């Protein structure tokens, strides 16, 4: 057989399995290293030749080849995955379950070039690809869509234990066979297939968790130490009749704390953060009001004003154009947390091969996670301007962020008892049948479901009077100075005691899917196979409504004069020492007398706190409306706040794989087309109306009914997604790679709701429904996906199996943005159909670009030291306008676009977009000892809120250090030590604009020490 035919068959095999991260056999890696050693290139040459000679000697002497494990093996696998793939892909694989070198899937993915995470509770959660936000990516588990409980399409990777996942990869270009949905890329997780694994294995691991910041906390929910325990079993059974069965089972129990200390300001997601006027000549509103009051309210006039961005028709500019302003929220606060994080996960797989023509795989992933927090807040209300004091003493930076504030306001000791439970279930069955030597047919059926529920008790005790205080911005957070007020004295917070019980964000996300694919092998000199298939899926998303829109609330207030008795009866010692010490410049609160002398009582970094459940039950018991049953209210389906979305998708694809020789160079790849048809149906509920017509005047009025009326709307689209991938084997160690594909990212399910109700014009006589009614609503079931054309060009050099130098240029052209647009919708009101305009968010046809550079480098010296670097740079002109203080536009029914507001803040970029993403790893592995230090950096990015994704919030740049080390005691036992956030890097967020500090989260380091065994 010719070398060409041998290479073609090799590449054909690779192309058929690369989407499943298949690695070449060890022999191929050895051969690749030998050839690379003979190639000889630049600084790698000497080492490559030495490696080749050593391996030749080993083979000639028939000496057993040493198996490579640990960090070195992981990096070799990463290099092999990238080299063998037809698409642009980076991944991690583990020889055994539990060998992925990370504490979570999020941390594992972060080690891949171009990937970065959004941190919550100190760990990696949502993953971005090439600096692009998670909503532009798709996540698949064993080739299937994964659900989540957030209302968007990103996946919280902390839900899945890394110890039970065998392989992860990020596809940065796509082919037609891949499920649509990722403009930035596709994140793929794979669990074990027991027969393919090919050996019996029993293994387990116990990791003890110690968090230094937790040792300072008297945590009522969790002890100072936690643990993660993992057990897995894999086995195969072969029978005399040629049949074979494989089974694998993995289970993990996690019970740890997630310490977090916070500084917080009011968020911009609602109506509690304003740009208040800072004009000394304006005494009617702002910080220079002539009478005390909230800075966004007018002394004579309207409330909730602040800086007015509405266009003045006479000037064409904002009504407040040129007026100085400063950002102020309704409060600034400190939050101390007691935390607990419990997770139980079970992964199961069964593989059955009744003959060589049939392969049946069943897999299941089940995860139950409960996060609990006991929160204790010290809140300083702050919007109120004190005449002659607040305005003249106000100090701001150049973006309007406040650096010094003085005034009189109330102070609160507040608390929350919070829990979030999230349950994930994923099931799938895959049947592959080899019909002939050339034709293989594959059937896959899948089901994924996530349920989430959040329960919260919110308490408040406040001061009866407004107290004089000031605050100054320190290096990282503000520090407060109070006059003759002791925040540690609980008797100071006896006014307006209140408790609220909330059940909210009750969500259910389900994906059902079925697909059938075929792969037909060809014998031509160019094309190796043809693939095709059809897939049908149904996504359903329900968020249950209640008395508070996305949930229900029961509220109790104090019913007698027992406030002090309740506070003292439920009081606890402040749970934490050295609170926020790593981000503060000293005492958080300083208590002074009227002469400015420091009073020791009330000076420090603590305040009066109480047990939240005790407080809530005691307050409820005094309320005259209390029924004697203390519990959370129910949510309901038939509610105006309910979102019920069903998305049905049918897609078909056809793809040709090629592998041939052109001008002495071997080339391989594929090209194809995927067609996607999607229909969306959205159900909502609105007030039931009866139409009354006055027989004399003809005036039309509405009577409000007692029940709700079910409404329904929908939308849809058909998209064509071509793709082309090319790999050129320029030489034995150099690859050239190119990819072109059209991608799509769908709108979040929570944005596809259909909430519509009516506002009546009672000021004039209406002779028709269209004269009487205007529409008030949110959600757009007909939101179109964001589309992009994507181009990749890469150079990859593989001197040996430990080394890589890869450079990629990529360009993405987006078609789409977000804008308000007026459309006509038909409504049935009292049995009559009326057509009315409604203004809603739509996807525009605006074009924007992203240009990026991605680089990977890995090298290992023969003394056991190795390095790995990954860097991604991207630049874009994409603009995301803030809906409150940005430039906003509306398009009328005739297609005319009018600017509504002239904003005072620059637009954000692509949600989740970071200009720079960098990861590095320095490792040392000799013999049975293996250690690595990891550094990850991500520049600032815009992160939308889940509750209101139209407001700007920036997460500041951060670099995080991690460490891991292990020692193999013998062939069965290994000890491990791992740490994340070694130097306690906080997460800092800015609201509306960068440098307007909104929130700082201090997590501290997380340490794990454990032992694993394998049999």
Distance CA 479, CA 412 (A): 16
Coil vs helix vs strand at 994: coil
Distance CA 325, CA 327 (A): 7
What is the residue whose two structure tokens read 């929220």? 329
For the beta carbon of residue 712, count every other beta carbon within 10 angstroms: 11
pLDDT band for position 18 (cuts 50, 70, 90): very low
569-587 confidence digits (pLDDT tens): 999 999 999 999 999 999 9
Mean pLDDT of 539-557: 94
**pLDDT score of 218 more than 70:** yes
Sign of the alpha-carbon torsion through 171, 177, 182, 186: negative
Nearest to 515 by CA among 536, 538, 539, 532: 536
Distance CA 532, CA 534 (A): 7
In this structure, what token pair is assigned to residue 968? 């193999």
The DSSP element (H or E) to which 333 belongs, if any, is strand 331-355
Query: For residue 67, what pLDDT is reported?
Result: 57
130-158 confidence digits (pLDDT tens): 877 777 788 899 999 989 888 888 777 77
Indicate the average pLDDT of the chain.
Answer: 87
Coil vs helix vs strand at 594: coil
65-90 confidence digits (pLDDT tens): 455 667 888 888 888 888 888 888 88
> 92: which strand partners?
168
Half-sphere exposure (CA, 13 Å, Cβ side) for 340?
16
Query: For residue 98, what pLDDT is reported?
Result: 65
**pLDDT score of 405 more than 90:** yes
What is the residue whose two structure tokens read 């320095």? 922
Mean pLDDT of 978-982: 91
Coil vs helix vs strand at 107: helix
Nearest to 925 by CA among 37, 66, 31, 44: 66
Nearest to 128 by CA among 961, 955, 968: 955
Whether residue 112 contacts residue 804, with contact meaning beta carbons closer than 8 Å, is answered with no
Percent over 90 (pLDDT), the chain: 62
Mean pLDDT of 941-955: 83
311-367 confidence digits (pLDDT tens): 998 899 999 999 999 999 999 999 999 999 999 999 999 999 999 999 999 999 999
What is the residue whose two structure tokens read 């694998």? 248
Whether residue 418 contacts residue 454, with contact meaning beta carbons closer than 8 Å, is answered with yes
Coil vs helix vs strand at 189: strand
DSSP 750: G
For the beta carbon of residue 103, count every other beta carbon within 10 angstroms: 24
Whether residue 375 contacts residue 416, with contact meaning beta carbons closer than 8 Å, is answered with yes
In this structure, what token pair is assigned to residue 590? 């300083």
pLDDT band for position 722 (cuts 50, 70, 90): very high
Between the CA atoms of 814, 820, 825 and 828, what dihedral angle is there, to the nearest 10 degrees?
130
What is the residue whose two structure tokens read 């391996």? 55
In this structure, what token pair is assigned to residue 879? 């603009």
For the beta carbon of residue 538, count every other beta carbon within 10 angstroms: 14
Nearest to 914 by CA among 91, 113, 88, 129: 129
Distance CA 134, CA 910 (A): 10
**pLDDT score of 53 more than 50:** no
The DSSP element (H or E) to which 29 belongs, if any, is helix 26-39
Distance CA 203, CA 96 (A): 9
First to last CA, the chain: 42
What is the residue whose two structure tokens read 């609330």? 553
Q: 213-227, 326-340, 382-396, 468-482: which range is least confident on average?
A: 213-227
Query: For residue 58, what pLDDT is reported?
Result: 44
Range picked from 270-274, 665-669, 762-766, 774-778 for highest mean pLDDT: 665-669
In this structure, what token pair is assigned to residue 21? 């991260």
**pLDDT score of 44 more than 60:** no
Strands 358-381 and 439-462: unpaired
Query: For residue 774, what pLDDT is reported?
Result: 83
∠ CA(438), CA(441), CA(445), 5° rounding? 165
């Amino acid at each position: 057989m010719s070398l060409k035919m041998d290479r073609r068959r090799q590449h054909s095999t690779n192309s058929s399995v690369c989407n499943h991260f298949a690695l070449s056999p060890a022999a191929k890696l050895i051969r690749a290293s030998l050839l690379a050693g003979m190639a000889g290139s630049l600084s790698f040459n000497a080492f490559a030749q030495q490696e080749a000679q050593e391996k030749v000697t080993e083979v000639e002497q028939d000496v057993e080849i040493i198996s490579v494990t640990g960090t070195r093996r992981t990096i070799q696998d990463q290099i092999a995955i990238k080299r063998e793939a037809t698409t642009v892909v980076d991944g991690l694989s583990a020889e055994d379950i539990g060998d992925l070198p990370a504490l979570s899937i999020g941390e594992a993915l972060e080690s891949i070039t171009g990937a970065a995470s959004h941190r919550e509770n100190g760990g990696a959660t949502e993953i971005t690809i090439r600096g692009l936000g998670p909503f532009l990516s798709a996540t698949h588990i064993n080739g299937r869509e994964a659900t989540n409980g957030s209302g968007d399409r990103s996946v919280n990777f902390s839900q899945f234990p890394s110890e039970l996942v065998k392989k992860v990869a990020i596809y940065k270009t796509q082919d037609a066979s891949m499920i649509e949905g990722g403009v930035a890329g596709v994140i793929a997780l794979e669990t074990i297939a027991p027969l393919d694994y090919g050996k019996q294995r029993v293994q387990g691991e116990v990791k003890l968790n110690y968090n230094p910041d937790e040792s300072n906390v008297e945590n009522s929910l969790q002890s100072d130490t936690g643990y993660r325990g993992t057990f897995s079993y894999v086995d195969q059974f072969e029978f005399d009749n040629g049949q074979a069965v494989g089974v694998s089972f993995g289970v993990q129990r996690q019970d740890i704390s997630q310490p977090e200390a916070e500084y917080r300001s009011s968020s911009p997601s609602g109506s509690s953060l304003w740009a208040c006027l800072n004009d000394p000549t304006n005494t009617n509103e702002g910080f220079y009001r002539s009478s005390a009051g909230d800075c966004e309210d007018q002394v004579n006039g309207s409330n909730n004003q602040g800086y007015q961005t509405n266009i003045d028709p006479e000037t064409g500019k904002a009504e407040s154009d040129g007026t100085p302003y400063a950002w102020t929220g309704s409060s600034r606060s400190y939050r101390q947390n007691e935390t607990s994080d419990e997770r139980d996960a079970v992964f199961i797989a069964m593989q059955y091969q009744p003959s060589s023509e049939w392969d049946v795989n069943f897999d299941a992933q089940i995860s139950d996670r409960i996060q609990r927090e006991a929160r204790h807040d010290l809140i300083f209300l702050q919007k109120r301007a004190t005449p002659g004091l607040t305005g003249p003493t106000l100090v701001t930076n150049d973006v309007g962020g406040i650096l010094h504030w003085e005034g009189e306001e109330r102070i609160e000791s507040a608390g929350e008892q919070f829990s979030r439970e999230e349950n994930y279930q994923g099931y799938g069955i895959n049947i592959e049948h080899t019909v002939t030597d050339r034709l293989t047919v594959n059937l896959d059926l899948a089901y994924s479901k996530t349920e989430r529920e959040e329960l919260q008790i919110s308490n408040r005790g406040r001061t009866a009077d407004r107290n004089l205080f000031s605050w100054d911005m320190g290096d990282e957070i503000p520090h407060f100075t109070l006059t003759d007020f002791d925040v540690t004295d609980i008797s100071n917070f006896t006014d307006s005691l209140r408790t609220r019980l909330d059940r909210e964000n009750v969500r259910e996300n389900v994906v059902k899917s079925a697909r059938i694919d075929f792969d037909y092998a060809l014998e031509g000199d160019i094309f190796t196979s043809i693939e095709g298939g059809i897939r049908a899926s149904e996504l359903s998303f329900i968020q249950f409504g209640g008395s508070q829109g996305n949930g229900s609330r029961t509220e109790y207030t104090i019913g007698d004069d027992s406030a002090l008795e309740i506070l003292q009866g439920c009081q606890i010692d402040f749970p934490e020492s050295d609170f926020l010490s790593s981000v503060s410049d000293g005492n958080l609160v300083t208590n002074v007398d009227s002469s400015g002398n420091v009073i020791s009582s009330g000076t420090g970094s603590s305040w009066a706190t109480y047990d939240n459940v005790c407080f809530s039950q005691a307050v409820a018991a005094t309320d005259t409306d209390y029924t004697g049953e203390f519990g959370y209210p129910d949510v309901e389906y038939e509610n105006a706040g309910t979102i019920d979305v069903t998305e049905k998708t049918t897609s078909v694809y056809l793809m040709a794989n090629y592998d041939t020789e052109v001008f002495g160079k071997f080339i391989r790849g594929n090209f194809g087309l995927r067609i996607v048809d999607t229909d969306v149906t959205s159900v909502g509920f609105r007030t039931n109306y009866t139409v009354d017509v006055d027989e004399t005047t003809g005036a039309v009025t509405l009577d409000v009914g007692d029940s709700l009326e079910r409404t329904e709307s929908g939308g849809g689209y058909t998209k064509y997604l071509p793709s082309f991938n090319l790999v050129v084997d320029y030489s034995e160690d150099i690859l050239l790679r190119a990819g072109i594909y059209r991608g799509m990212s769908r709108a979040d399910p929570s944005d596809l709701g259909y909430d519509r109700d009516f506002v009546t014009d009672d000021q004039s006589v209406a002779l028709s429904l269209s004269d009487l009614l205007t529409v008030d609503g949110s959600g757009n079931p007909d939101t179109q996906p964001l589309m992009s054309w994507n181009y990749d060009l890469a150079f990859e050099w593989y001197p040996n199996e430990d080394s890589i130098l890869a450079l990629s240029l990529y360009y993405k052209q987006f078609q789409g943005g977000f804008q308000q647009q007026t459309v006509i919708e038909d409504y049935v009101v009292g049995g009559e159909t009326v057509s009315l305009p409604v203004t809603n968010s739509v996807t525009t046809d605006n074009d924007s670009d992203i240009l990026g550079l991605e680089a990977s480098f890995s090298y290992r010296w023969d003394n056991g030291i190795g390095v790995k670097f990954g860097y991604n740079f991207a630049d874009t002109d994409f603009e995301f306008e803030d809906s409150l203080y940005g430039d906003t536009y509306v398009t009328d029914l005739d297609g005319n676009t009018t600017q509504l507001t002239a904003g005072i803040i620059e637009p954000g970029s692509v949600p989740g977009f970071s200009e720079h993403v960098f990861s590095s790893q320095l490792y040392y592995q000799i013999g049975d000892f293996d250690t690595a230090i990891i550094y990850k950096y991500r520049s600032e990015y815009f992160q939308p809120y889940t509750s209101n994704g139209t407001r700007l919030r920036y997460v500041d740049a951060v670099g995080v250090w991690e460490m891991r080390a292990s020692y193999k005691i013998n062939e069965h036992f290994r000890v491990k030590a791992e740490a994340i956030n070694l130097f306690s890097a906080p997460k800092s967020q800015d609201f509306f604009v960068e440098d307007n500090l909104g929130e700082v989260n201090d997590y501290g380091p997380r340490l794990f020490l454990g032992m694993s065994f394998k049999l």
